[in-house]
Chain A
Amino acid sequence: MKQQLILKVNGEEHEVFAEPSKLLRDVLREDLDLMGTKEGCQDGYCGACTDLIDGKAVKSCLVLARQARGKEVTTIEGIANNGRLGPVQQAFVDHFAVQCGFCTPGMILSATALLSENPSPTEMEVKRALIGNLCRCTGYAKIVEAVLAAARIVREGDNPRHD
C-alpha cells in the first residue's frame, strides 16, 4: 500500500505517495520528474543512477526512497546554481568528458562527492572515487582530466563561467 513520504531533494521538500518498497531512483524519476537520474542496470553496478545523500554518493537503485527520509538528497538537477554550471559540470564540458551523456550525471555526482571530501585528489584518488560509475564511450581519460581540472578550480576559488 502506498504511504506518504516527505523527501528533501535539491533543497526542496516534496510529498509523495509511494509503495514502501519503491526505490529512491524510481521515486525521483516517476514521482518527482527528476529524469537526470538514469537507469542502466538493476543491480547497482553501472552507477548511472548515482545521487548524493547528505553529500555522499549513493546508487539510488540500491536505496529505498523511505531510507532517504530526513536526509538531503541531491540529484544532477541540484548541481547547477541558478543556471550556472557547477565546477565539475563546467570541467566536463571544457574537457570533452561527455559523450553519450547517459553516465554523465552519475559521474558528476560521484566527482562532486569526492571533491567535497578531498579538494586535492591525485589521479589515482579520482579513479578510485569513480570506480562505481561505468562509461562505455569515453575510455574515462577525459573524465579523469575534467575532475582534476575541477579540483584545481575549486581550490583556487575560481568562479565557473556562465553556461
Chain B
Amino acid sequence: MTRDSSFAGAVVIDKKPLELKSHGEGLNAVGHSVTRVDAVAKVKGEAKFTGDFKMPGLCYAKLLGSAHPHAKIIRVDTSRAEALPGVITVITGSVPENKLYGDIYADQYILARDRVRYVGEPVAAVVAKTEDIARDAIELIDVEYEPLPAIFDVEESMKADCPIVLHPDLLNYEMLPKPNFRFTPCAEGRPNVFQVYKCIKGDVDRAFMEADFIVENRYSAPMGNATPIETMIIDVWLEPDGTVNLRGKTQAMHIPRAKIASVFNLPMSKVRYMAPYIGGGFGPFCSSWPEVVAVLIALKCRRPVRLSLDRAEQFSIAPQKPGRITYVKDGVKKDGSIIAREIIAISDFGAYCGPYGTAGYVRGSTGGVVSTYRYPNFRYKGYGVYTNHHPGSAFRSVGSADMHWGIEQQMDIIAEKLGMDPVQLRMKHILKEGEPDMVGETIHSIGAEECIETSADWLRHSKVPAGPQSGPWKHGKGISLAGHFVVSDMPSWAQVKVNPDGIIEVRHTGFELGQGCDTVVTQVAAEEFNVPVSQIRVVARDTQFTPYEFFTAATRFTYYAANSISRACQDAKRQLFALSAARLNTSPDNLETRNGTIFVKGKPETAIKFGALFSPAGFIPIPGGEIMGNGFFADNSALYEAETGQSPKQWAAHPYLSYGVEIAVNIETGEIRVEKVVGTVDVGRAINPKMVEAQIEGGMAQGLGAALFEELISDEGVVLNPNLVDYAIPSIMEVPSGDNLASLISSPLPHPLAYKGAKGVGELTIIPFAAAVGNALYNAVGVRLKDLPMTREKVLCALNEKNKKG
C-alpha cells in the first residue's frame, strides 16, 4: 500500500436534500448530539488507560510462544532464563495449577503442557523486574519439540477423513453450559469440526430444480487482525486476604472473572476486575484470554505483575480474526425472484476455540443473513473448524462481513443476469415489518428499504468526480445492503443513585471502547430525570462496585443498557416520589421530576429540591436509606431446533445499513481508490446521532482495510507480517472525508423492546463495505474478485484474464 499517493482530487457532489427525520424531536437528551462525556479528558491526555497506572513493585511478564505449528513438547529447560539477573520466576505448563479451560469447550491449557497447536502458543512465561529483562529471558528458555504434521487448509481439515486430528479428546472436553446453545463436537463425523449450526427453511434442493438459473460462487476472506491502537495489557495483584485484583483491557470483565474463579478455585467475590478506558476493542477482548494466563503468573510469583503484548506479539501470540470461506448458491426465477439460497460458511478458528468463545460465533454471524431478505427456501450451514492457524477471536461482526462479501456480490451478479437494477432486486427481497424471517422469528423495526434508497439516491446524484478520469483510471459505482443482530440472552443490570446535591449517579459495567457508551448512559439518565447531561455522573466498570453486565460486544450495549438504566431511573424516581408525596400532600403517582426537583404534576410552583429530602447533614434521606434505583433487562431467546435452526425468538433486534461507493481503478497498476462513500444506517433511534455517524465512518474505514489490503499472511503458521507496516490498516489518506463522504441515519423506527427504538449499531458498519467495493470494481472494469483483499495484484491478474478472453 503506497501511503503517499494523493487522494483523487476534489469531487463535485450535487447533494440532494435528504428527508431523513430527526431523532431528537420531543426528547430532552436522547436523540441529540450531546458532547461526549469523555472527550475533554481524552483531548487533554488525562484519560487513563491500563498502561497509565503505576504501582509500587510492579513486575513484568512476557510469554514465550511456540516455534512450531503442531508439535509435542519434549522438554522445557528454564535454567538459563532463571539465572538471568532480574528474573523473578519462570513458569511453564508443568505447574499443577495449569489445566484445560475455555468459555464453551475447555480445550486449551493455560500454558501449553505437552502439545502445541499454533506458532506463538504460550509455552512459558517469564516474570522479571523490567520488561527488557523479561524479554531477554524469554530468549534463554530452551524448548525441545517433536514436530507433528500440521494442517492449514480449513477445507481439508473439515473433511471426515482428515488424517490430522488436532483435538483427539474433543468429545471428552468439558462443555460449559451456555444459554440456548447446542454443542456439536465432531459433527457429521468430522473430527476437526467443533461446532455446526444449521438453518433450514423450505426445500432448497427442489427449488434449485425449479429455478430458471443457478448462480453459485465461492468467496473467501483471510485471517486478519483487529488492530486497536492500544495493545493487550493486564495488571494483576493480590490482596493479603487472597483477593485477586485485575485491571486491564477488556470488553467483558465478567467472562474472565467467572473463569478465573472456576479455574483457580476462588470464590467469585474474591476476584475483582476493574477496567479504565479501553484504547479500542473490536472484538478480541471478549474472552478469558489472556486474563487466565496473567492470573496464573501472579499466583505463582505472588507479586504485582503486568502482562502485556507489544505490537508484534499482538500479531503473533494473540488470537486473530479468523479466515472464512463462504459458498453461496442461489436459484433464481426469470421474474426476478430468488427462490432458494444456500450458504455454507466455513470458519478457520485455528488451534483452539475454548478461551475465545468462538463456538458461539458459528451461529452468531448469521443474525443479519437471516433477517434482511426473503427467500422461500433457505439453507445455511456454518462450520467451526480447527486448524494449526492462530486461534480465532471475535472481530467486529463475527464473520458476517466475510459472508456479506459473498452475498452482496451475489445479489449484483443475479441482478445483471436478470437485466435488473441491483437496487430493485434487493428492494424486491427485503423483509417487511411483521413478516417471519429465515429462522421463523417475526421481523420488527426494519428500515432496510429507506437505507438502500437513501444511499442509492446519494450515489445517483453524486456527479462524476473531477479526479483522475483519463488514462488508466476507470470509475465505477457499487451498492450493498446488510442487516445485523443485537444478541439475545445476555442480561444487563444498572443502578442509579440520587445524591442530595442533585447529581444522578449511574453505575454500569459497559466498556468505554471509544463507541461512547458512557455518553449513551448519560443521555438515557438525563432523559429519564429531565435534567441537563451535566447533572449525570457515571461510575463504571469495577466488579466490586458496579452491577453485572454481559460483554460490550455483539452490538448489544445500547439496546440492553438503555433499558436497564431507564428502569433503574424509574425505580429511583419511585423512591423519590414515595419520600416526597406526604410533604407535597399528594400521592406518589401524581408527582414528576425535572431539573433536580419534585413537584405535583402540572404545578411546578410546588417544587422541592432533591436535597430537601435528605437530612441537613446531607447524607440520609428522611425517612432512612439511600435512594438507589435498580434496573434489570433481559431479552431471552428460545432454543433453536437442532436440525433446522428455527426458533420463534432468536435475536434481540436487527439494525440495517446500506453502503454506496464510487471507486477509481487503475488498470495499469491494479490500484483501487475509494473516492466516495455513502453509508445509511437504520438504528431504530440514534441516541446520539453524531456518535452513530462516527460508528459508520469507523466501520467504513475498517471495511475499507478489509476490502483492499488487510490480510495476516502466514507460512506454515508463522505470521510473516507482524507489524503495522506490513499489515497496513487504513491511514488518513485512504479514507474519504469531507464532501466525499456521507454518513446518514434513516428515520426513527419503533421497536417492541428497544428503549425509544434504539437498537444499536457497532459491528454493523463494517459488514457490507467490501462487497460494495467489489460491485464497484465490476462496474468500473468488468472483473469480479471473490477472494479478499482486493490487492493490486489480484485486480491486475483478473484484468489480464479478462483481456485474454477478449
Task: Give the segment of A63-71, A99-107, A151-159 that binds chain B.
Answer: A99-107
| Given A101-B42, A105-B45, also A137-B230 (CB < 8 A) | no
| B752 CB–A CB distance under 8 Å | no
Cross-chain contact B737 with A136 (CB below 8 angstroms):
no
Q: Which of A1-9, A113-121, A125-133 contacts B (4 or more CB under 8 A)?
A: A125-133
Q: Are A144 and B229 in contact (CB under 8 A)?
A: no
Residue with the highest number of chain B CB atoms closer than 10 Å, among A33, A99, A139: A139
In the complex, per-residue mask of A16-51: 1 if CB is within 8 Å of any chain B CB, else 0: 000000000000000001111111111101101000
Contact residue among A92, A104, A133 (Cβ-Cβ distance under 8 Å from B732): A133
Query: A35 — nearest CB in chain B belongs to which residue?
Result: B52
Q: Which residue of B228, B725, B733, B738 contacts A100 across the interface (Cβ within 8 Å)?
A: B228
Whether B619 sits at the interface, judged by CB under 8 Å, is no
Most buried by A among B278, B729, B735: B735
Which A46-76 residues sit within 8 Å CB-CB of chain B? 46, 48, 75-76
> In the bound complex, how far is the Cα of B42 from the Cα of A103, in angstroms?
9
A38/B229 in contact, CB under 8 A: yes
B701 within 8 A of A: yes
B730: chain A residues within 8 A (beta carbon)? 139-140
Query: Could you tell me which residues of chain A, from 67 to 99, have a CB within 8 Å of some CB in chain B?
Result: 75-77, 79-80, 85, 89-90, 92-94, 96, 98-99
Given A35-B52, A140-B735, A41-B723 contact (CB < 8 Å): yes
List residues of chain B with CB within 8 A of the CB of A100.
Answer: 228-230, 277-281, 512-514
B7 within 8 A of A: yes
Q: Is the CB of B36 within 8 A of A42?
A: no
Interface residue? B516 (CB, 8 A) = yes
B44 to chain A, nearest CB (A): 6
Which residue of chain A is the closest to B723 with respect to CB atoms? Answer: A43
Q: Is the CB of A94 within 8 A of B35?
A: yes
Q: Is A36 a contact of B46 with CB atoms below 8 Å? A: yes
| Contact status A98-B738, CB under 8 Å | no
B787 touches A (CB below 8 Å): no
Please, how many angstroms separate the alpha-carbon atoms of A41 and B728 in the complex?
Answer: 13
Q: Any chain A CB within 8 A of the CB of B441? A: no
**Chain B nearest CB: distance from A137 CB in Å?**
4
- Which of A42, A48, A127, A141 has the largest number of chain B CB atoms within 10 A? A141
Complex contact A77–B45 (CB within 8 A):
yes
Which of A45, A75, A136 is close to B702, meaning CB atoms less than 8 Å apart? A136
Q: Among residues 629 to 663 in chain B, which have CB atoms less than 8 Å away from a CB atom of chain A?
A: none
> When the two chains form their complex, are residues B229 and A40 in contact, meaning their CB atoms are under 8 A apart?
yes
Q: Are B33 and A124 in contact (CB under 8 A)?
A: no
User: Which B300-339 residues have C-beta < 8 A from chain A?
Assistant: 310-312
**Are the CB atoms of A99 and B732 closer together than 8 Å?**
no
Binding stretch for chain A, among B363-371, B555-563, B570-578, B690-698:
B690-698
Q: Chain A at the B interface: mostly helix, strand, loop or mixed?
A: loop
Instruction: Return chain A residues, CB-CB under 8 Å to B732.
Output: 127, 130-131, 133, 135, 140, 143-144
A98 contact set on B, CB distance < 8 A: 36, 38-39, 42-43
Output the least CB separation between B697 and chain A (Å): 3
Q: Interface extent on B, as a size class? A: 35 or more
Is A123 among interface residues, defined by CB-CB distance under 8 A? yes
Q: Which listed residue (A101, A134, A140) contacts B724, Cβ 8 A? A: A134
Q: Is the pair B229, A96 in contact by a Cβ cutoff of 8 Å? A: no
A41: chain B residues within 8 A (beta carbon): 231, 310-311, 723-724
**Cβ distance A42 to chain B, nearest Cβ, rounded Å:** 6
Q: Is B49 an interface residue (CB 8 A)?
A: yes
Q: Is the pair B229, A136 in contact by a Cβ cutoff of 8 Å?
A: yes
Interface flags for B27-63 (1: CB within 8 Å of A; 0: not) read 0000001011011111111111101101000000000
Q: Are B514 and A137 in contact (CB under 8 A)?
A: yes
In the complex formed, the residue of A with least CB distance to B279 is A102
Known: A96-B693, A98-B42, A100-B278. A138 touches B35 (CB 8 A): no
Q: Which residues of A contact B701 (CB under 8 A)?
A: 136, 138-140
The answer to whether A36 and B44 have CB atoms under 8 Å apart is yes
Whether B729 lies near A136 (C-beta < 8 A) is yes
Q: Is the CB of A38 within 8 A of B279?
A: yes
Taking a contact as CB atoms under 8 Å apart, the answer to whether B724 and A138 are in contact is: no
Contact with A along B505-549 (1 / 0, CB 8 A): 000000011111000000000000000000000000000000000
- Bits for B203-218, please: 1 = Cβ < 8 Å to A, else 0: 0000000000000000
A99→B49 contact, CB < 8 A: no
| Separation of A91 and B231 alpha carbons in the complex (Å) | 27
> Which of B7, B51, B312 touches A124 (beta carbons < 8 Å)?
B7
Among residues of A, the one whose C-beta sits closest to the C-beta of B6 is A124
- Known contacts A36-B46, A40-B311, A123-B738; is A131 also within 8 Å of B230 by CB? no
B605 at the A interface (CB under 8 A): no
A82 to chain B, nearest CB (A): 12
> Could you tell me the distance between the alpha carbons of A2 and B729 in the complex, rounded to whole angstroms?
38
Q: Does B724 contact A43, Cβ atoms closer than 8 Å?
A: yes
**How far is A108 from B729 in the complex, measured between Cα atoms in Å?**
20
CB distance from B414 to the nearest CB of A (A): 30
Q: In the complex, what distance in Å separates the CA atom of A55 from the CA atom of B42?
A: 21
Taking CB atoms and an 8 Å cut-off, the chain B residues in 720-773 that contact chain A are 723-725, 729-733, 735-738, 741, 743
Known: A92-B39, A140-B737. A99 touches B514 (CB 8 A): yes
- Which residues from B are CB-within-8-Å of A80? 44
Contacts of A99 in B (CB 8 A): 280, 514-516, 694, 698
Residues A142 and B724 in contact, CB atoms below 8 Å apart: no
Given A137-B280, A140-B732, A140-B737, A96 and B36 contact (CB-CB distance below 8 Å): yes
In the assembled complex, the CB of B751 is this many whole angstroms from the nearest CB of chain A, namely 25
Given contact pairs A98-B36, A100-B513, A35 touches B735 in the complex (Cβ within 8 A): no
Would A127 and B733 count as touching, CB distance under 8 A?
A: yes
Check if B375 is an interface residue, CB within 8 A of chain A. Answer: no
A136 with B282: CB separation less than 8 A: yes
**Contacts of B48 on A, CB cut-off 8 Å?**
35
Partner of A93, one of B35, B228, B231, B733: B35
Residue A12 lies at the interface, judged by CB distance under 8 Å to chain B: no
Nearest-CB distance from B577 to chain A (Å)?
A: 36
A124: chain B residues at CB < 8 Å are 6-7
CA distance A134 to B3 in the complex (A): 12
Closest to A92 in B: B43
Q: Which residues of B contact A40 (CB under 8 A)?
A: 229-231, 279, 311
- Cβ–Cβ contact A127 & B737, under 8 A: yes
A157 to B18, CA, bound (A): 35
B230 touches A102 (CB 8 A): yes
Given that A80-B44, A102-B230, A140-B732 are contacting pairs, would A96 and B737 also be in contact in the complex, using a CB cutoff of 8 Å? no
Given A43-B723, A99-B514, A108-B43: A142 in contact with B229 (beta carbons within 8 A): no
Report how far A143 CA is from B45 CA in the complex, Å: 16
Across the interface, which residues of A come within 8 angstroms of B743, CB to CB? 141
Name the contact of B3 in the complex, choosing from A92, A131, A138 (C-beta under 8 A): A131
Besides A45-B725, A100-B281, A102-B280, 4 new A-B residue pairs in contact (Cβ under 8 A), listed by A number: A79-B44, A131-B732, A135-B229, A138-B697
13 contacts between A and B (CB under 8 A): A36-B45, A38-B279, A42-B310, A43-B723, A46-B311, A96-B691, A96-B694, A100-B281, A101-B38, A138-B694, A144-B732, A144-B738, A145-B737
B interface residues with partner A (beta carbon < 8 Å): 3-4, 6-7, 33, 35-36, 38-49, 51-52, 54, 226-231, 277-282, 310-312, 512-516, 690-691, 693-694, 696-702, 723-725, 729-733, 735-738, 741, 743
- Kindly list the 6 A-B residue pairs having the minimum CB-CB distance in the complex, ordered from nearest: A36-B45, A100-B514, A102-B279, A101-B42, A99-B514, A139-B697
The residues of A with any CB-CB pair to B shorter than 8 Å are 33-43, 45-46, 48, 75-77, 79-80, 85, 89-90, 92-94, 96, 98-105, 108, 123-124, 127-128, 130-131, 133-145, 163
